[in-house]
Structure 1
Amino acid sequence: MKKIYVLDTNVLLQDPYSIFSFEDNEVVIPAVVLEEVDSKKRYMDEIGRNARHVSKLIDGFRQSGKLHEKIPLENGGFLRIELNHRSFHQLQEIFVEKTNDNRILAVAKNLSLEEETKENGSPVILVSKDALVRVKADALGLQAEDFLNDRVVELDHIYTGLAELYIDSEKVNEFYEKGQLRLSDITTHFFYPNQFIIMKNSLGGSSSAIGIVEKTGCFVKKLVYNQESIWGVKPRNVQQTMAMELLLRDDIQLVTMIGKAGTGKTLLALAAGLMQAEDLLNYKKLLVARPIVPVGKDLGYLPGEKQEKLRPWVQPIYDNLEYLFNTKKPGEIDAILAGMASIEVEALTYIRGRSIPEQFIIIDEAQNLTKHEVKTILTRVGEKSKIILMGDPEQIDHPYLDEYNNGLTYVTEKFKEQAVAGHIKLLKGERSSLAQLAADLL
């Protein structure tokens, strides 16, 4: 049976192409949604870009017919702008205030009542990213769904970059002797390039080994990194050791790191970047950037020059740099960085249009990036550059992103089969016992 899907504004602002995601069913866009989209067109961020894109898409449909009638879509479905069914009669006793959300609910409810009077009426389903709109719909007896088509991966299937494998103790000894093992000799499982494997004794002994799958996927090899202290930082657990391996490998151009607060993502990346750019001179510059997305209420406009305006947003990066440079006086880190032209702390606002060759690039809080934004960043990377994307998908401050559709998860999933990329999920917090407890309990 064909269905009628009524789309909320946030669905279109999250994914302009969501119109084509409902197969051969009918898609209805309430007129109030067009008004909300129009109000967002002037925004100079991802929401504004999507609003403008939705406007152009819908304008293009006018060539196929009248928008208040059914317009055929390429996938066999139909699109309609709903101008009628705006009556508030069915909602006025429950939701008195005529907000935009309630108007969208009114359209869905009236459509549903109309379809119920038909002999072969279609079920009406409201699609919204707003949980409370779905709750309201349920209170009105409406079917409501979240828009899940934009999710990169399903629950519990996010790539961790790490696997465990139980093998014979003889094979463990052989791995230490030869420095590598052919995967076909120890398992039938498939592994991605640069994926880490913890090999354990299948008989329960204490012998174990850590290896990384080489680019062809045929061999697992010893780690190159030997756990020496870098800029006063030494890995404290196995995942941090794996992260440092990825950060220091010249043949891995893209590194993604996922972990809760306090797992050491930023500190490890900065230490590796300083070593590569300052000590080894493998890169001309260390560029550190993060998106400007507030955790709580926005600070608003800030006084001063660009660097002064950026300081509150990039302060966590400065905190880590102060630790690495072992500064003791207030403002000392600013003097150090002013004398080191090879270190640049920037906001992602200014990255569009740039080309960044021969640089070690660190993008912090990448979970707050959309798919389009992360594509923009990666396409800025020039020759002989290395980029690190890191963050915690469980701590997202962007209104239209979640753990499964953000830019960091998107890149992790799309690049896991590529030989130039590596990924690791950090599990254990090392900031303090209190920070780890807070990350687990809260």
Structure 2
Amino acid sequence: MKKIFVLDTNVLLQDPNAIYAFEDNEVVIPAIVLEEIDNKKRNADELGRNARQISRMMDGLRNQGRLFEGIDLPNGGRLKVELNHRSFAKLQETFAEGTNDNRILAVALNYHMEEQENPNPRPVVMVSKDTLVRIKADVLGLTAQDYLTDRIVNMPDMYMGYLTIHAHPSVIDEFYTYRYLNVNSLHLAYPLNPHEFVILKDEMGTSKSALLKVNADGKKLEPLFLSNDPIWGIGARNAQQRMALELLLNDEIPIVTLTGKAGTGKTLLTLAAGLLKVEDERKYKKLLIARPVVPMGKDIGYLPGEKEEKLRPWMQPIYDNLEYLFDTKKAGDIEKILAGLGSIQVEALTYIRGRSIPGQFIIIDEAQNLSKHEVKTIVSRVGEGSKIVLLGDPEQIDHPYLDASSNGLTYVVERFKAQNISGHITLERGERSHLAQLAADLL
């Protein structure tokens, strides 16, 4: 049976093509949604871009007929802009305030009441990214759902970058004898990705084990090439950190993604690797460290001072890690060191969009606050001879229209996992302190 889907503003601002995502059903856009989109179209951020795209799309659809009467969509569905669907009075019995959310809910409720008068009523579904709107819809007896079409992957299925395989002890002995294994010798029911790590454990229960990495063509398992010696005073404290360093220090892998909770060492390990490659090995001309000022593109001109002073509060976590690595003793020392080196640049993402960045080791911190479009913009800026590392915790998102399964970092992890130029590791064990790990787990 065909359905009627009433869309909230946040659905269209998240995905301007959402009107085409409901197959052959009827899609209703309340007029108040158009007003909210109009209020966003002058924004200089991702929401503004999406609002302008929606506006152009709706303007183009006008050529097919009057939107308030309804027009047919290419996928067999139907689109209608609802101007003033009956009265707001029925909703006011439950929610008295005439807010925009309530007006959108009123449209859905009145459609539902109309359909109930028909012999074969069509289900009416309120679609919103806003949890409270969905709760209000449930209170009113309406069916409500999140917009999941933009979801990249279900979080339990997210690529980890490594797996543990229990094998016969003879397989582990074979690896230590020949220093490699064919992937086919493990008889797996699924393929392994290039640069994916494998922890082999003895299926007989002994302590025998091995740590291996899939090569670039995905056909062989090889030992880790790097030793476990500290770099810039930082050494791997667990298996996942060692895997991360293997990817960070491999010049043949130009894009690396690291995810994990606070305190797992993502930023510190990456900064140490970047300093080694830039300052010691001179593999790259510059170390560029950037993080989004959430929301990305937000004007920070209201803060007093020059650009560097304005950025300092946003960049402080980066400076904290640099102070630890350079072992500074007094306030202000790190600024003098960075000014003297000249090869380390700490920047807001707002200021690197549009640039071409060749020959640099690029670190993008807090990348979970980027949308799919924003992360594409950043990664597509990477020039010849550069390496980019994207860091973040998909469970800790400040962006109002993103979640763990629809953000830019998760998008890169899933889209690049099968590419032989990329590598990913999920860091799980906190190493900052016992308190920090407990806080990450409990709070």
Instruction: Give the TM-score taking structure 2 as reference length.
Output: 0.98
- In 2, distance between residues paired with 1:339 and 1:2? 67
Shift of 1:173: 2.1
Corresponding residue for residue 165 of structure 2: 165
Amino acid at match of 2:394: P
Determine if contact 2:260/2:266 at 8 Å carries over to the other structure: yes
User: 1:78-100: per-residue Cα shift (whole Å, max 9, x none)?
Assistant: 11000131511111121111000
Shift of 1:119: 2.0
Determine if contact 1:128/1:134 at 8 Å carries over to the other structure: yes
Aligned counterparts, 1:317-328, within 5 A:
317-328=318-329
The alignment partner of 1:16 has SS state of coil
- In 1, distance between residues paired with 2:320 and 2:271? 11
- Alignment pair present for 1:76 and 2:60: no
Amino acid at match of 2:257: T
- In 1, distance between residues paired with 2:186 and 2:134? 50
The alignment partner of 1:108 has SS state of helix
Corresponding residue for residue 250 of structure 2: 249
Corresponding residue for residue 357 of structure 2: 356
- In 1, distance between residues paired with 2:316 and 2:188? 47
- Say if 1:15 and 1:294 are closer, same or farther in 2 by CA, change over 3 A: closer
The alignment partner of 2:341 has SS state of coil
Determine if contact 1:169/1:201 at 8 Å carries over to the other structure: yes
Amino acid at match of 2:345: E
The alignment partner of 1:288 has SS state of strand
- In 2, distance between residues paired with 1:158 and 1:293? 24
- In 2, distance between residues paired with 1:302 and 1:187? 59
- In 2, distance between residues paired with 1:412 and 1:74? 32
Aligned counterparts, 1:224-263, within 5 A:
224-263=225-264
Aligned counterparts, 1:254-333, within 5 A:
254-293=255-294, 301-333=302-334
The alignment partner of 1:109 has SS state of helix
Amino acid at match of 1:184: N
The alignment partner of 1:91 has SS state of helix
User: 1:338-382: per-residue Cα shift (whole Å, max 9, x none)?
Assistant: 011111100000122100001000000000000000000010000
Corresponding residue for residue 67 of structure 1: 67
Shift of 1:294: 7.2
Determine if contact 2:155/2:404 at 8 Å carries over to the other structure: no
Determine if contact 1:6/1:126 at 8 Å carries over to the other structure: yes
* Count of residues in Structure 1 that have an aligned counterpart in Structure 2: 441
Q: Which runs of 5+ in 1 are unaligned?
A: none
User: 1:2-55: per-residue Cα shift (whole Å, max 9, x none)?
Assistant: 111000000001110111100010100000000000001111111111111111
Corresponding residue for residue 415 of structure 2: 414
The alignment partner of 2:90 has SS state of coil
C-alpha RMSD of matched pairs (Å): 1.5
Corresponding residue for residue 181 of structure 2: 181
Corresponding residue for residue 128 of structure 1: 128
Q: Which runs of 4+ in 1 moved over 6 A?
A: none
Corresponding residue for residue 150 of structure 1: 150
The alignment partner of 1:6 has SS state of strand
Shift of 1:300: 7.6
Shift of 1:70: 1.6
Determine if contact 2:153/2:405 at 8 Å carries over to the other structure: yes
- In 1, distance between residues paired with 2:301 and 2:148? 33
Corresponding residue for residue 92 of structure 2: 92
Determine if contact 2:288/2:360 at 8 Å carries over to the other structure: yes
Amino acid at match of 1:425: T
Which 10-residue stretch deviates more, 313-322 or 200-209? 200-209
- In 2, distance between residues paired with 1:380 and 1:166? 41
- Say if 1:95 and 1:151 are closer, same or farther in 2 by CA, change over 3 A: same
Amino acid at match of 2:33: V
User: 1:102-133: per-residue Cα shift (whole Å, max 9, x none)?
Assistant: 00011111111111112223111110011111
Shift of 1:69: 1.3
Which 10-residue stretch deviates more, 180-189 or 407-416? 180-189
- In 1, distance between residues paired with 2:392 and 2:421? 20
Determine if contact 1:86/1:103 at 8 Å carries over to the other structure: no
Identity of aligned residues (%): 63
- Alignment pair present for 1:115 and 2:115: yes
Determine if contact 2:295/2:369 at 8 Å carries over to the other structure: no
Corresponding residue for residue 24 of structure 2: 24
Corresponding residue for residue 440 of structure 1: 441
